[in-house]
Amino acid sequence: MFDQQNCRTPYAEFKNHLQRFSKKKLVQLQDSADKAQMSMGMTFNVYHDNQGIEKILHLDLIPRIISGSEWQIIEKGLIQRITALNKFIDDLYHDRAILKAGIIPEELVLSSSDYLQPCIGLKPPKDIWCHITGSDIVRDKSGKFYVLEDNLRCPSGVSYLLENREIIKQAFPQLFSDLGVRPVSNYSGMLLNMLQHLSDKPNPTVVVLTPGIYNSAYFEHSYLAQQMGVELVTGQDLIIKDKRVYMQTTKGLRQVDVIYRRIDDTFLDPLTFNPGSMLGVPGIFEAYKAGNVALANAPGTGVADDKAIYTYVPRIIEFYLKEDPIIENVPTYLCSEKEDLQYVIDNIEELVVKETNAAGGYGMMIGPKASKDEHDKFRKLVKADPRKYIAQPTLSLSTVPTITEKGIAPRHVDLRPYILYGEEIKVLPGALTRVALVEGSLVVNSSQGGGSKDTWVLFD
């Protein structure tokens, strides 16, 4: 919000407005926001938590504000990135030109647990693999944006973004028109249009496939289905006949044309992937291969989610688009590389070490915040299976004012914009800002105690 002592331009009007509130009034508003979240059912499940599984994703009242010109850079950078990643995924399952050219080590890709052999030769509808993406972006102390990681499998969080906006609009109703904040309420319509585009039928039947009520993002699954006006189904609601997918209804079977799946690839079809899966639909992959149903995102997309593959995204952009990346990666050390491995072992106290296939803040160690025992533990883990880990320097993440028990204080944030790839690639002009609620913490994940903020993208 401040550049040294000066308020940054996008925040100037909000700062004037905020100064009119007493501390008591802010606390009352924050309490109302918490109650609104609970009444809306804006909860998520935390696995391995002994105090109960259902919690609200705490919404801090003070928004993050991004100028139109700054957003333009983010938007162009993400469109470039998704274009290249889609070409990359398609290439991996067909010609493997990027591997033959030696741009990425073949072993790195083929050893990824998310590179799915059954998807080799697959042709998804409209040649689109990654329909919905939530890339994580961070900003360093100099104000420069970096992509921290890509989420192309089942990115979550957009429902909290949409509901956060509704709550914050009630807290600061006048400010939205005064500042010229770009709306996000049309996301559900954008999502439905994108899903319908995947089918050649004039009025395709779309459903949202959820693992069920115990999944951590079940609120989001039900919310998006309701907002789009489509059915929310589990694997037990769907059956396969003649390589076509049907939904069981009170009026009999109804053919399904497009499935927005919130189930991981390997649980999707027990006949093709994990035979022990009770969540998927036996035979659905054959129906997909036959072109009788569209799946978003396409199975096999997760290979581009692998944090070891992430290291090569700048080269992927250059290979397929012949362009320099608009938004750079965070510098990354591949533990599978001998020199990088030695550097990580020698400097683990200064680095953030991550499991290549973990998510939600699990399988991660922040060197400067960790104990000596944790350093030693991760040294052993990395040495035992180098392919499984990457490491990055500890960035000084940007901070945004946040309401705490001691008053307004800076807390570290990241940014998750949402990108839809249908007839064209569109970036929602808003994002989920995740905030580390613990003083000094760099971990923003909800599963690790992080919260969220509304993100205001201003018109130019």
- The string of pLDDT tens digits covering residues 420-443 is 999 999 999 999 999 999 888 887
Residues 42, 3 share a domain? yes
8 A C-beta contact, residue 452 and residue 60: yes
Q: Which of these three, 394, 414, 444, is where a domain ends?
A: 394
Indicate if 169 and 142 belong to the same structural domain. yes
Q: Which two tokens stand for residue 106?
A: 């073949």
Mark out the alpha helices in 283-430 (DSSP H runs): 284-289, 307-310, 313-321, 338-346, 372-384
Across 398-420, average pLDDT: 93
Of 25-29, 342-346, 347-351, 360-364, the one with minimum mean pLDDT is 360-364
Whether residue 147 lies inside any domain: the answer is yes
Query: Residue 387: inside a domain, yes or no?
Result: yes
- Check residues 444 and 348 and name the one with the higher pLDDT: 348
Residue percentage of the chain with pLDDT more than 90: 73
What's the pLDDT score for residue 4? 78
Average pLDDT over every residue of 303-324: 94
Position 232 in a domain: no
55, pLDDT greater than 90: no
Query: Residue 43 has what pLDDT?
Result: 65
CATH number at residue 376: 3.30.1490.270
Look at residue 95 and tell me if it is in a domain. yes
Instruction: With respect to residue 169, please indicate whether it lies within any of the assigned structural domains.
Output: yes
Residue 381: pLDDT above 60? yes
Q: Which of 394, 422, 449 is at the close of a domain?
A: 394
- 456 & 376 share domain: no
Alpha helices in 66-206 (DSSP H): 68-92, 97-100, 106-110, 158-171, 175-179, 187-197
78 falls within a domain: yes
How much is the pLDDT for 389?
Answer: 93
Structure tokens at 453: 């903020």
| Residue of 105, 130, 119, 114 lying closest to 356 (CA atoms) | 114
411 and 339 in a common domain: no
Q: What is the pLDDT of residue 307?
A: 87
Distances (CA, A) of 435 to 63, 420, 449: 11, 24, 9
Q: What is the pLDDT at residue 27?
A: 87
Q: Which band of pLDDT confidence, cut at 50, 70 and 90, is reported for residue 447?
A: low
Q: Do 363 and 419 share a domain, yes or no?
A: no
For the cut 60, the answer to whether the pLDDT of residue 47 exceeds it is no
Count of domains forming the chain: 2
Question: Residue 359: its pLDDT value, please?
Answer: 65
pLDDT, tens only, 88-120: 999 999 999 999 999 999 999 998 889 999 999
User: Residue 54 — pLDDT band, cuts 50, 70, 90?
Assistant: low
Q: What is the pLDDT of residue 330?
A: 92
- Residues 356, 435 within the same domain: no
Query: Tokens for 358?
Result: 């973990």
Band of residue 395 on the pLDDT scale cut at 50, 70, 90: confident
pLDDT at 327: 97
Q: Which carries the bigger pLDDT value, residue 243 or residue 305? A: 243
pLDDT at 23: 85
Residue 143 confidence class, pLDDT cut points 50, 70, 90:
confident
Whether residue 175 is found in the same domain as residue 138: yes
Query: Does 359 share its domain with 447?
Result: no
Q: What b/e readout covers 414-450, taking b as 16+ CB neighbours within 10 angstroms?
A: bbbbbbbbbeebbbbbbbbbbbbbeeebbbbbbbebb
Of the three residues 341, 373, 394, the one that is the final residue of a domain is: 394
DSSP H or E segment with residue 66:
strand 59-66
Q: Do 366 and 429 reside in the same domain of the chain?
A: no
Supply angle C-alpha 294, 302, 247, rounded to 5: 30
Cis peptide upstream of residue 16 (ω within 30 degrees of 0) = no
User: What is the end-to-end Cα distance of the chain in Å, rounded?
Assistant: 18
pTM: 0.91
User: Stretch 137-165: mean pLDDT, rounded?
Assistant: 91
Task: Answer whether 74's CB lies under 8 Å from 137's CB.
Answer: yes
Structural domain boundaries, residue 366: 331-394
Q: Is 295 part of a structural domain of the chain?
A: no
The pLDDT value recorded for residue 53 is 56
pLDDT tens for residues 4-36? Answer: 789 999 999 999 998 888 888 888 899 898 888
Task: Mark whether 354 and 459 lie in a shared domain.
Answer: no
The confidence score (pLDDT) of residue 356 equals 86
**Does 48 score more than 70 pLDDT?**
no
Average pLDDT over the chain reads 92
pLDDT, residue 436, reads: 92
Q: Is the pLDDT of residue 205 over 60?
A: yes
Per-residue pLDDT, 443: 79
SS3 306: coil
- Both 371 and 431 in one domain: the answer is no
Examine the pLDDT at 45 and tell me if it is beyond 80. no
Q: Categorize the per-residue pLDDT at 49 as very low, low, confident or very high, splitting at 50, 70 and 90.
A: low
SS3 of residue 391 by DSSP: strand
Is residue 68 in some structural domain?
yes
Cα–Cα distance measured from residue 306 to residue 275, given in angstroms and rounded to the nearest whole number: 23
Pair 283, 51: CB distance under 8 Å: no
| Mean pLDDT across 176-201 | 96
Instruction: Tell whether 22 and 139 lie within a shared domain.
Output: yes
Percent of the chain with pLDDT over 70: 95
Residue 222 has pLDDT above 90, yes or no: yes
